[in-house]
Structure 1
Amino acid sequence: MVKVLAVEDNIEISNNIVEYFKGEVDIKAVYNGADAIEYLNAYDYDVVILDLMLPEVDGMTVLKHISKNCLNTGVIILTAKEELGDKLKAFNLGANDYLTKPFFMEELKARINSILKSMGKVKRPNILEFKNMQIDMKVKRAYIDENELELNEKLYKLLEYLVINKGVLLFKEQIFDNVCGYNSDAATEIIEVYISRLRKQLGTFGYDKYLITKRGMGYLLDESIED
């Protein structure tokens, strides 16, 4: 479970944060900078929610300590200080994100998840979904309405990459690097062949309409297309 340290001297805000994240993460609350450093020295945390205006030891000092001693810990600043200078100082000291009060818990959660993803601390799901299509990333197979698609290794990689990035226009070169590899001797035009073959497979189930070609640009899977 993801370990989070909340460093906030406002008891009400701290309790609300702990209550909101309870059960989703392993969260510990401390109320001053000195205790924060003590816990950071004793335990490994994935993310620290850090107020700047703290008693005993201020938040910037805690941030310096994290940047120097806790290289695998992400930090989101949560503070009423909204001046640009404070934000720049925090980022220069190693903060990953900066959220000003008042705030929404949903936004705090989204920003924490973004930090975890950027640090590679969120496991990829075994199952990807697109409409009624399911991709089992563990066994590398794809199904539409429980019917398995006939995909070789390259077509599977192509479909997986498109579904992971559904709704995002992917350039041919991006697709080539992810499907064929950076060191491949093949030409990028091979992607057009793979797209054609994949489109044929999807067409068996009426899913070819979701595979959009942007001429001269690239391809995307668009689930906003009406059924």
Structure 2
Amino acid sequence: MNLLLAEDDAKLGRLLIHKLKNEFHQVDWVKDGESALDYAVSQMYDVVILDWMLPKLTGQEVCAEIRKEGSQVPVLMLTARDSIDDRVLGLDSGADDYVVKPFEFDELFARIRALARRSHNTIQEDVIHVGMIQLNRTAHSLHVQDQQVPLTYKEYQLMDVLITNAGKVLTRDQLIERIWGFDAEVSNNNLDVLVKLTRKKLKDAKADKAIKSVRNVGYQIG
């Protein structure tokens, strides 16, 4: 699944990113409400996870603005507030569910899966097509026509982020953060090697699309 996490607590955020990626989720992590709103309305996510107490805009305010934009993406609120009034306030702002801190990770993951199953935002549900390339986000696989292309986990992550952002140029920093994670000690050379290996697999499979370099910026699929 493609998830957006808005959490300003750096320690908890890093732990959540680690746990979610171990569950084979693609995660974008932001630390304030304004960034959360920008990401939520400009990209497609299976679930948005919002901390209640975010700087700039609260999770409740972000959720309300997401709904005003007409998005029906499932929203899960993380909150230390467990009174009935606070729960009602969060749900009334448009949240679909909430988890009270501190929480068990197994419960959080189960609620995320449940929200994704109920989602009406089905454009990312199974297969995304870009030319002859088919990305199956449920099976974590990639095909060129009927031929499966064997990818490592990092190669799959690269193709996932490029295909789900087809038509956009992604910077090196964006790709490194989304593939290796926030604060990862990874160089541009690591990314270039990953791109080179993945390009060769697409070429060997005779795909009609390739990973293109954009000078001094990054990469895109096209």
**TM-score, L = length of structure 2:** 0.52
What secondary structure is seen at the aligned counterpart in 1 of 2:77? strand
Deviations 1:79-114 (A, max 9, x none): 111121111011112211111000011111000100
Which of the pair has the greater relative contact order for Cα pairs under 8 Å at 6+ separation? Answer: 2
Contact 2:61 2:93 in 1 (8 A): no
Corresponding residue number in structure 2 for 1:72? 72
What secondary structure is seen at the aligned counterpart in 2 of 1:109? helix
**Aligned residue identity for 1:11:** A
Corresponding residue number in structure 2 for 1:27? 27
Quick one: structure 1 residues 18 and 70, their matched pair in 2 at CA, closer, same or farther if it must change by over 3 Å?
farther
Contact 1:5 1:45 in 2 (8 A): yes
Corresponding residue number in structure 2 for 1:3? 2
* 1:31 Cα offset (Å): 0.7
**Number of corresponding residues:** 122
Q: How does 1:1-227 map to 2 (within 5 A)?
A: 2-22=1-21, 24-119=24-119
Counterpart CA distance in 2 for 1:21 and 1:117 is 17
* 1:54 Cα offset (Å): 0.9
Contact 2:41 2:71 in 1 (8 A): no
- Structure 1, 85-94 or 99-108: larger mean CA deviation: 85-94
* 1:65 Cα offset (Å): 1.2
Structure 2 unpaired stretches of 5+? 127-222
**TM-score, L = length of structure 1:** 0.51
Corresponding residue number in structure 1 for 2:209? none
What secondary structure is seen at the aligned counterpart in 2 of 1:6? strand
Counterpart CA distance in 2 for 1:70 and 1:50 is 18
Counterpart CA distance in 1 for 2:42 and 2:112 is 22
Deviations 1:7-36 (A, max 9, x none): 111111111111011151110111110111
What secondary structure is seen at the aligned counterpart in 1 of 2:102? coil
**Aligned residue identity for 1:44:** M
Deviations 1:142-188 (A, max 9, x none): xxxxxxxxxxxxxxxxxxxxxxxxxxxxxxxxxxxxxxxxxxxxxxx
Counterpart CA distance in 2 for 1:93 and 1:114 is 20
Counterpart CA distance in 1 for 2:46 and 2:72 is 7
Deviating 4+ runs (over 6 angstroms): none
Highest Rg: 1 or 2?
A: 1
Counterpart CA distance in 1 for 2:66 and 2:86 is 17
Quick one: structure 1 residues 26 and 34, their matched pair in 2 at CA, closer, same or farther if it must change by over 3 Å?
same
* 1:72 Cα offset (Å): 3.2
* 1:47 Cα offset (Å): 0.7
Contact 1:46 1:72 in 2 (8 A): no
**Aligned residue identity for 1:14:** G
Quick one: structure 1 residues 54 and 21, their matched pair in 2 at CA, closer, same or farther if it must change by over 3 Å?
same
* 1:70 Cα offset (Å): 4.9
Contact 1:79 1:100 in 2 (8 A): yes
Contact 2:80 2:101 in 1 (8 A): yes
**Aligned residue identity for 2:8:** D
What secondary structure is seen at the aligned counterpart in 1 of 2:18? helix
Contact 2:4 2:45 in 1 (8 A): yes
